[in-house]
Structure 1
């Protein structure tokens, strides 16, 4: 009987050891990868969930993270695809790993604001949020955001020529998400000969009345050209500034002529 009892004990112990090894091999105690839910992003100033933001402002980002294992890092990647880089603009790729103590826990809530440069191309950008725990498990979610200019103009119309001693008209629509601060107009000639009885003419004026703080307005003005202005081509620059200090510049030309008798 003693021999049989010992044999049974050895068999039972071996079976338990075999079961334990099998559980380890199958990852029975493995911690599940993090889960990301309620991922939202948009214009930072009002925590918008519309997937639109503006150059020179920021992107609001938020997500709930269900992480059974302690979070080791939260990474954000933002980049555009084949966006045309205009004059004065630079390509923008944003990558950052967030390792604040408030995130290196179980089940954190992610909430950050990412600054958008003012000199990047407008268009669609791809966003990736990746959460990694201390065991190396990781999960990512993706989305797209449209980054727009904070100031736009449309329907620009201006006379191509004007006889000196008369006026010419300018009109265009302005949309400024942060509100219009002022509109500056600069008109000047380049190396135009000044004849007898003529006086060099440069025009500079800032317009704010009727436009200030509006998010949408029609700019419609008439500018007088002195009768003594030299004839020739003049360069016109229009600068729209919003309440956040962003500016949009538009350039064109107008020919000043001698009136016919």
Structure 2
């Protein structure tokens, strides 16, 4: 009988010890929480909250994602950088990174929604996007994607005379795509250091064209330009400049040989 009583006392003591250990664990830090989940990650042109993966220089990118987090979110980090785009002389490299700690995000299950301005002086091309979410337990999750940054004005399919006879004309045509609509198109024709002979006059031609182009977002430029019979023969420099309704410009330069 005494043996049974001792066994029962030992069993009860062990139970109390295990319960005490369990209680200590419950009062400590929470362990075993899963890392945050990021779903419905979308991004695109900001003006119309597009989900197509492109945006324009000088505009903005709309980004949105749903975040499921068992622990409170501590930071959301967004980074954007170029893949293979190379900056021209008048452009700069764009490497964007921002850590968001807004109160709306430092909760369980926040919705991420931001607009990021795209500089107008960066190279067009493909850019890499990364979204990193970290919670207060140190767990983190990252999603990534790619977005194409496009020019707001593009010129293509050029067909411009390389030579012309003075006293006749030269022909120029090309396609224009302007997201914000065309304001005007200027044409500048001039020569450098051509000798002006007897009966000749220096030819320096400039014109601004709006009729048939103003306000258009996609149009074919097609014009003929008269060459004075008195223009000195030689090489002339031609610059076509398209300006849109936002003040953005795009140029195309070429040369033409004027012959007698």
TM-score by length of 2: 0.89
- Counterpart Cα distance in 2 of 1:28 and 1:105: 16
Which residue is 1:242 aligned to? 244
Q: SS of the counterpart of 2:63?
A: strand
- Counterpart Cα distance in 1 of 2:109 and 2:72: 8
* Deviation by residue 1:182-224 (Cα, 9 ceiling, x = unmatched): 1111111112222233222211111111111211101011111
Deviation of 1:152 (Å): 1.4
- Counterpart Cα distance in 2 of 1:111 and 1:225: 57
Structure 1 residues 153 and 133, CA gap change in structure 2 (3 angstroms): same
- Structure 1 segments (4+ residues) deviating >4 Å: 1-6, 18-25
Q: SS of the counterpart of 2:16?
A: helix
Contact 2:128 2:147 survives alignment (8 Å):
yes
**2:20 is the alignment partner of 1:7:** no
Which residue is 1:133 aligned to? 135
Q: SS of the counterpart of 1:10?
A: helix
- Counterpart Cα distance in 2 of 1:149 and 1:173: 14
* Deviation by residue 1:6-49 (Cα, 9 ceiling, x = unmatched): 43432112222444577799x86443322211111001111100
* Deviation by residue 1:121-168 (Cα, 9 ceiling, x = unmatched): 222211111111222221111111111222212221111122222211
- Counterpart Cα distance in 1 of 2:164 and 2:107: 70
Q: SS of the counterpart of 2:212?
A: coil
- Counterpart Cα distance in 1 of 2:24 and 2:103: 36
Contact 2:203 2:232 survives alignment (8 Å):
yes
- Counterpart Cα distance in 1 of 2:204 and 2:137: 69
- Counterpart Cα distance in 2 of 1:132 and 1:244: 39
* Deviation by residue 1:40-93 (Cα, 9 ceiling, x = unmatched): 100111110011111221111011112232221111111122333334233221
TM-score by length of 1: 0.89
- Counterpart Cα distance in 1 of 2:249 and 2:190: 20
Q: SS of the counterpart of 1:233?
A: strand
In structure 2, the gaps of 5 or more residues are none
The RMSD of aligned alpha carbons is 2.3
In structure 1, the gaps of 5 or more residues are none
- Counterpart Cα distance in 1 of 2:183 and 2:172: 19
Which residue is 2:219 aligned to? 217
State the aligned residue count.
257
Which residue is 1:233 aligned to? 235
- Counterpart Cα distance in 1 of 2:152 and 2:237: 25
